[in-house]
Amino acid sequence: METHLRWTKRPNRLVRLLVATLGGLSLAIGITGGAHADPTPGEIEKQIDDKWNQIEPVIEQHNQLKIELAANQTKQKQLEAQIAPLRAQVDAAFDKVSAFAVLQYKNGRFSKLDAMLTTGSPDTFIDQMTMLNMVAKDEQDKIKDVLVAKQQYDAQKGPLDELVAKQAEQEAAMAQQETQINADIKNLNDMRIKAYGSSGGTGNLRPVACPFEYTGGPGAKAAQVACSEIGKRYVWATEGPNTFDCSGLTLYAWKQAGYTLRHYTQWQYDDTARVSRANLKAGDLVFFYKDNHHVGLYVGGGWMVHAPNPSQPVQMKKIDSEPISGYGRVA
């Protein structure tokens, strides 16, 4: 059984990383506000991009933890559902033994003290115990297979219960940072509005035809869907239809084309086939940075549609504008 034990320690470090990152983000915002009374758009964009590249990997890891926790909780419920009827059979069998013991006691034939006092010998008591043991053994033999199955399920469920408890604690710790994340994102947006105004975009979000090229098939459908989402807001850990994060956008676009992707950039990298840049076609995924923490959907002509960060809506962008780590084909 896959239990993702690698999560038992790593999220604690991620929480500390997130706190440190957000602390640095707040500091940078404060310093920038004091040092530059009127920062240039280029300066603001660089700060936004740099800081978001620090935050996004943590958010993607948080997405992964939430999905794995939900999967393990489902396994936990399934095991409990399998164990419950077995437990009921075991309990029923031993209830019979218990009922027999009570009956013997009430009839005065199963009192150790009574046996010792009335006979002057423990023989009566030993006879009663022998009978009770025979009844217990008979009941146990009847449910031998049930006992074995229950023990096997219990052996699986014990470690899973511990893992779920740890993951739930880790996820709660990361979730507590959401308020701080939202506050710092608001500061980023305030900086952006000051630099660019309140138009909701930094220039033309769709500078060329989107998709730039049409090749037919499910990839073209996914590209068309991604293009139709241009202008919608970035909200981390969302996958549409009104807001997206980077892997949520690619997941949503391909879902409309009839294919399922998982909501985590590394999983999408793992689940897609590697292709070369020369063979890219509309609908392929483009991954960025060494840890694959960002992804966009290729729409042809060197362009992609992606959900960049909370300071910018879904938009087109040249794929060479960020460090590429690989390309993936869904279908």
In this predicted structure, what is the pLDDT of residue 311?
A: 83
| Torsion (CA) 210, 212, 214, 220 in degrees, nearest 10 | -50
* In the predicted structure, residue 17 carries a pLDDT above the cut 90: no
Among 62, 227, 246, 263, the active-site one is 246
CATH number at residue 244: 3.90.1720.10
Which structural domain range is residue 252 located in? 217-329
Q: Is the pLDDT of residue 241 over 80?
A: yes
pLDDT tops 60 at residue 235:
yes
Residues 89 and 30 in one domain: yes
* Cα–chain center distance at 254: 19
Q: Are residues 135 and 248 part of one domain? A: no
**Separation between Cα atoms, residue 57 and residue 21, nearest integer Å:** 11
- Mean pLDDT, the chain, rounded, equals 75
293 falls in which pLDDT band (50, 70, 90)?
very high
Is 300 a domain residue?
yes
Q: Are residues 171 and 285 in the same domain?
A: no
Q: Name the range with the highest mean pLDDT among 99-108, 117-126, 132-141, 200-209.
A: 200-209
- Let me know if residue 207 belongs to a domain: no
The verdict on residue 282 lying in a domain is yes
Q: What confidence score (pLDDT) does residue 324 get?
A: 98
In this prediction, residue 63 carries a pLDDT of: 83
Nearest Cα to 230, choosing from 203, 269, 259?
A: 203
246 included as an active-site residue:
yes
Q: What is the Cα–Cα distance from 259 to 317, expressed in whole angstroms?
A: 24
Among the ranges given (82-86, 157-161, 164-168), the one the predictor scored with the smallest mean pLDDT: 82-86
Among 136-140, 181-185, 280-284, 307-311, the range scoring the smallest mean pLDDT is 136-140
Do 128 and 187 lie in one domain? The reply is yes
Q: Assess whether 4 carries a catalytic annotation.
A: no
Q: Are 63 and 294 within 8 A, CB to CB?
A: no
Looking at the fold, whether 95 and 167 belong to one and the same domain comes out as: yes
Residue labelled with tokens 């999905």: 67
Is 227 an annotated catalytic residue? Answer: no
| 223 in the same domain as 108 | no
Residue 239, phi then psi, degrees to nearest 5: -135, 40
Catalytic-role residue among 62, 263, 293, 294: 294
Q: With respect to residue 210, please indicate whether it lies within any of the assigned structural domains.
A: no
Q: Where are the alpha helices (DSSP H) in the chain?
A: 10-35, 41-106, 112-119, 123-142, 144-175, 178-196, 217-228, 246-256, 265-271
Instruction: Out of 62, 263, 293, 306, pick the active-site residue.
Output: 306
If pLDDT is split at 50, 70 and 90, which confidence band does 116 have?
very low
Residue 212 lies in a domain: no
Confidence of residue 201 (pLDDT cuts 50, 70, 90): very low
* Statement to judge: residues 163 and 280 lie in one domain: no
- Asked whether residue 203 is domain-assigned, the answer is no
CB 300 within 8 A of CB 282: yes
Domain count of the fold of the chain: 2
pLDDT band at 129; cut points 50, 70, 90: low
Q: Is 234 helix (H, G, I), strand (E, B) or coil?
A: strand
pLDDT at 230: 95
Listed in sequence order, the residues at least 6 apart from 80 whose beta carbon sits closer than 8 Å to its beta carbon are 157
252: which residues sit within 8 A by CB, 6+ positions away? 225, 229, 239, 240, 241, 244
User: Of 197, 228, 243, which residue is a domain's last?
Assistant: 197
164 and 16 both lie in a single domain: yes
Residues 42 and 188 in one domain: yes
> CA 260 to CA 113: how far, in whole Å?
71
Residues 257 and 161 occupy one common structural domain: no
Residue corresponding to tokens 């408890």: 165
Q: Are residues 130 and 90 in the same domain?
A: yes
| Of the residues 162, 197, 232, the one at which a domain ends | 197
Q: Is residue 96 pLDDT above 90, yes or no?
A: no
If asked whether residues 191 and 223 sit together in one domain, one would say: no
Would you say residue 135 lies in a domain? yes
Domain termination site, one of 164, 197, 230: 197
* 67 occurs within a structural domain: yes
